Amino acid sequence: MLINYLKIAVKVLMRRKFFTFISLFAISFTLVILMIGVSLLDSTFGPGIPETRIDRTLGIFKIEMRCPEEECTWISPGGYKLFNRYFQNLPNIELMSLSTEADLSYSYHQGEKIPSYLKRTDGEFWKIMEFSFVEGGPITTEDERNANFVAVINTATRHKFFGDQQAVGRTIEVDGQRFRVVGVVDNVPYLRQIPFADIWVPISTYKTGLYRDQLMGNFIALIMAPSSADFPAIREEVQARLKQVEFPDPKQWNQISAHAETFFERSSREMTGTPAREASQPLRAMVLIFAAIMLFMLLPTINLININVSRIMERAGEIGVRKSFGASSWTLVGQFVLENVLLTLIGGAIGLILSRFALDAIAKTDFFPYASFQLNYRIFLYGLAMAVFFGLLSGVYPAWRMSRLHPVDALRGAVQGGVR
């Protein structure tokens, strides 16, 4: 019986090519967008090299400073003085690191202008992050302390400067300064904003020492704890340290706020527009993401329901004939549901193939430098299960509605509708 149902389903789908195309397009397109979105989220928040310890790492990413009457606000990354003076030797932590955000800098090599993202770090940064080294090793605490002009570069930068030759021990020029290469690492995707750069150099190689006297600047602090269970105590200590900050001119600025956040909390704060003075709302962000996914999946479902109603109404004559020969309502419903499930599975297979091509195409663009997107098959199966569920939902109602018609009414509707 099942084989006969499958044969009928295939013939019906082939007979109504337009409805079949629209349905397959809706299913496969929905899955492709779902896979792209999930892959972007996984590439941004998921554990992976070099962010293999994000489950026990906090960051202070934004500082908010306000004037006495709170009529003016200054929001930016923190300054070196703020972190170095007030946040050293935090209790209940393993490591604390300071690094700048990646800034676009330029080099001139053999008459060619080469843009690169430059990040300045201390030695602890390379202990928190777990880079994959192709050559050499990381910047050390001694390099930062002694202001050694050394650099770690990624493989893309090595290729631009030295081709396929070894880079360690050679020098590069960036932003008007010359550095000796001590290490080469695999390219870090742009979506991993904390470790991302093309070139990493010690903080102390800044052209001037003005950064040492700034409460606000271009620095972020990473705090690695023994475990996530230590996060509450660390956050309390951060708030206590902020209350000790002395302002150069209290008449100009006299209040300062910040939070130690996980990487996802940071993104959720930016996503929900939460001010830096308030704690982030990761739950709200997750609800927004989940609601967006459900809404995105619901829209094609509504379209599928409308298509299925039209498709089944056209088959009123077939329903009338089959009921006249004794077909039960459950038999007819089972036939229509099987057609929908088959359609959904075919659309899922097409969506899987298109997702692979779409992710490869996005990775080859310069929109997300060094991006390498992977298909998350677990999420794909969840998405396919949702598509099957919505496929059943979009097929059961119209099928049950038509199966309840009296054979005479079904045949009369077919004749009135012009169905022969």
Residue 13 covered by a domain: yes
Helices (H), 185-262: 231-242
Residue 406 covered by a domain: yes
Q: C-alpha distances in angstroms, 65 versus 79, 101, 242, 243, 259? A: 12, 19, 11, 12, 13
Task: Examine the domain organization and report whether 237 and 358 are in the same domain.
Answer: no
Task: Examine the domain organization and report whether 407 and 354 are in the same domain.
Answer: yes
d(CA 137, CA 144): 14
Task: Examine the domain organization and report whether 112 and 210 are in the same domain.
Answer: yes
* Backbone angles phi and psi of 52, in degrees to 5: -90, -10
d(CA 206, CA 325): 88
* Backbone angles phi and psi of 113, in degrees to 5: -85, 120
Specify the pTM: 0.73
Collapsing DSSP to helix, strand or coil, 63 comes out as strand
In tens, the pLDDT along 129-150 reads 999 999 999 999 999 999 999 9
Task: Examine the domain organization and report whether 205 and 333 are in the same domain.
Answer: no
Residue 288 has pLDDT above 50, yes or no: yes
Q: Measuring CA to CA, which residue among 186, 107, 191, 113 is closest to residue 154?
A: 186
Task: Examine the domain organization and report whether 294 and 235 are in the same domain.
Answer: no
Q: C-alpha distances in angstroms, 410 versus 49, 102, 133, 333, 395? A: 62, 69, 71, 15, 18
d(CA 201, CA 28): 46
- Total Cβ atoms within 10 A of residue 158: 23
Structural domain count, the chain: 2
Residue 271 covered by a domain: no
Residue 179 covered by a domain: yes
In tens, the pLDDT along 333-371 reads 777 777 777 877 888 788 888 888 887 887 777 777 777
Residue 270 covered by a domain: no
Task: Examine the domain organization and report whether 256 and 303 are in the same domain.
Answer: no
Residue 326 has pLDDT above 70, yes or no: no
Strands (E), 208-322: 219-224, 255-257
Residue 242 covered by a domain: yes
Residue 267 covered by a domain: no
% of residues, the chain, pLDDT over 90:
42
Tokens at residue 55, please? 């489950």
Task: Examine the domain organization and report whether 164 and 290 are in the same domain.
Answer: no
Q: Strand 150-154 to strand 133-136: parallel, antiparallel, or no bridges (unpaired)?
A: unpaired
Task: Examine the domain organization and report whether 38 and 153 are in the same domain.
Answer: no
Q: Average model confidence (pLDDT) for the chain? A: 81
d(CA 324, CA 92): 78
In tens, the pLDDT along 74-114 reads 999 999 999 999 998 899 899 999 999 999 999 988 888 99
Task: Examine the domain organization and report whether 151 and 201 are in the same domain.
Answer: yes
Task: Examine the domain organization and report whether 238 and 339 are in the same domain.
Answer: no
What's the domain range around 35? 2-46+284-416
Task: Examine the domain organization and report whether 254 and 288 are in the same domain.
Answer: no
Task: Examine the domain organization and report whether 71 and 152 are in the same domain.
Answer: yes
Let me know if 418 is exposed, middle or buried by CB neighbors in 10 A (0-12, 13-18, 19+). exposed
d(CA 28, CA 22): 10
Residue 274 covered by a domain: no
